[in-house]
Structure 1
Amino acid sequence: MSELSFEDVTIRYGRTTAVDGVSLTVPAGAVVGLVGESGSGKSTLARAAVGLAPLTCGRITLAGAPVPTRGRPRPLQMVFQDPYSSLDPRMTVGDSVAEAMPPGSSRAERRAEAARLLELVHLDPVCAGAVPSRLSGGQRQRVALARALAARPRVIIADEITSALDVSVQGTVLNLVRELQRELGLSMLFISHNLAVVRYVASHVAVMRSGRIVEQGPTARVLTEPAHDYTRALLAAVPGSRRHPAKPGAGQR
């Protein structure tokens, strides 16, 4: 795992500035939460990291070097919000996971690795033969995490990966993120509009408004002693944001 850094990143579309001079670091082995309302620029910043949105100025580096956006395997992998559209409906789960693996291994090795990754995200390896339509939303999102891990990334970017799921299933996915971080030393930029979710999974948090980072620091400090009015407003607007959204073992589906 390596440190991911956004250095004075600005992204404009015509006269619209989506991201305005953002500097943010995801330390190696850490989960950093990025929170803000819809339209604040969170997803645009994430897309820029994986080469899906061009920078107007600034730079994005991984371990001090520019992030490569071509070739395989990609050192940054993104897990998207919608588990129903992020997987190819024509491919089996096993093939989807294997497709993301670095080249060079045999078909048997790839099948074995796909089974191992499915077990890692708490899915029965038998699921490898199923198509995504046979799985629930929570199961599909765990497949998406397995697929991201298959590429052996140095950082994973999770863009609102629980917002399309039922509350009970959200707990399963959040517990899995915590477990993967603990067992693998996973480095992750975890994007969410839900401050309670970020409190549960992230050690550090950055608050984004209108394309800018208005506050950042250790999660416990930012969410219990917010320095910025916008952070306080977000906290006040989310019922239960000061409580953990899930407990280990909750909502296992």
Structure 2
Amino acid sequence: MSELRFDDVTVAYGHVTAVDHVSLSVPPGQVVGLVGESGSGKSTLARAAVGLAPVSGGQILLDGRPVPTRGRRRPLQMVFQDPYSSLDPRMTIGESVAEALPPGHSREQRRAEVARLLELVHLDPGRAAVRPALLSGGQRQRVALARALAGDPKVVIADEITSALDVSIQGAVLNLVRELQRELGLSMLFISHNLAVVRYVASHVAVMRAGVIVEEGPTDRVLSDPQHDYTRELLAAVPGSHTREPSRRTP
């Protein structure tokens, strides 16, 4: 288990500042929710962590050291929003997961590890030869999670991983995230615009607006007694008077 820390991080594109002096920590073995509207900068911060967006100022640290963004072994793995574009349609799901495994495994070892990872995300290992086109969105997102775990990451970054899924499928994927975090002790930055989702999976939440963290703290405290007007606005937009959790049935 490792700590991911954003230390006064700024991301700018020319004269436009997408992330403005953000400091945020993901403690070892914890899920931290990052919530905000579209365009708030939360996905840009995530992309900066994995080297997909330029860091203009500050630093991103893993266990106190700068996060390496080059090389085959990357300690941060990201699961993206769209399960339909995150997997290569020309590869089987087994090949996609195997591609992310560390080097040095024999063919049999790789096959066994792919089977283990598919079982971990509740997919039949016998479907390893299937291509993504034959899977549902929820199944593809499970493959994406398996692929992220294949690299044995120190921290997983999940960027809006349920927003492109049908409501009927979202709960099962969220239950899987909770299960994986509990069983593997994952450190995870979980990004969403949905406060109900964040309440369900995260022990700590940070609220982002216009590239700035406006409020953060334990999830129960922030969502039951918000101190910032923007947090109150987000809560007011949640349908119903209470935030309802997804079903806790086994995925």
State the TM bucket, normalised to the shorter chain: over 0.9
Post-superposition offset of 1:138: 0.1
Aligned equivalents of 1:19 and 1:242: distance in 2? 31
Unmatched segments (≥5 aa) in structure 2: none
Between the aligned residues of both structures, percent identity stands at 78
The answer to whether the aligner puts 1:89 opposite 2:83 as a matched pair is no
User: Could you state the TM-score of these two structures normalised by the residue count of structure 2?
Assistant: 0.98
Matched residue, 1:79: 79
Matches within 5 A, 1:33-182: 33-182=33-182
Give the superposition deviation at 1:125. Answer: 0.5
Superposed, 1:168-247 pairs within 5 Å as 168-240=168-240, 242-247=242-247
Name the CA distance, whole Å, in 1 between partners of 2:245 and 2:143.
22
1:243 offset after TM fit, Å? Answer: 2.5
User: Superposition RMSD on alpha carbons, in Å?
Assistant: 1.0
Query: 1:7-46, aligned counterparts within 5 Å?
Result: 7-46=7-46
Contact kept? 1:9, 1:21, Cα under 8 Å? yes
Question: Are the aligned partners of 1:195 and 1:241 in contact in 2 as well (CA < 8 Å)?
Answer: no
Q: For residues 94 and 248 of structure 1, what CA distance do their matches in structure 2 show?
A: 28
SS in 2 for 1:129: coil
- Could you list the per-position Cα deviations for residues 184-222 of structure 1 after superposition, in whole angstroms to 9, with x for gaps in the alignment? 001100000000000000000000000000000000000
Count of residue correspondences: 251
Q: In 1, distance between residues paired with 2:242 and 2:126?
A: 39
Matched residue SS, 2:128: helix
Unmatched runs of 5 consecutive residues or more in structure 1: none
Q: Give the TM-score normalised by the residue count of structure 1.
A: 0.97
Q: CA deviation at 1:70?
A: 0.5
Q: Distance in 2 between matches of 1:15 and 1:117?
A: 43
1: CA distance between counterparts of 2:101 and 2:193?
31
Q: 1:196·1:241 contact (CA, 8 Å) conserved in 2? A: no
1:241–1:147 Cα change, 3 Å: farther
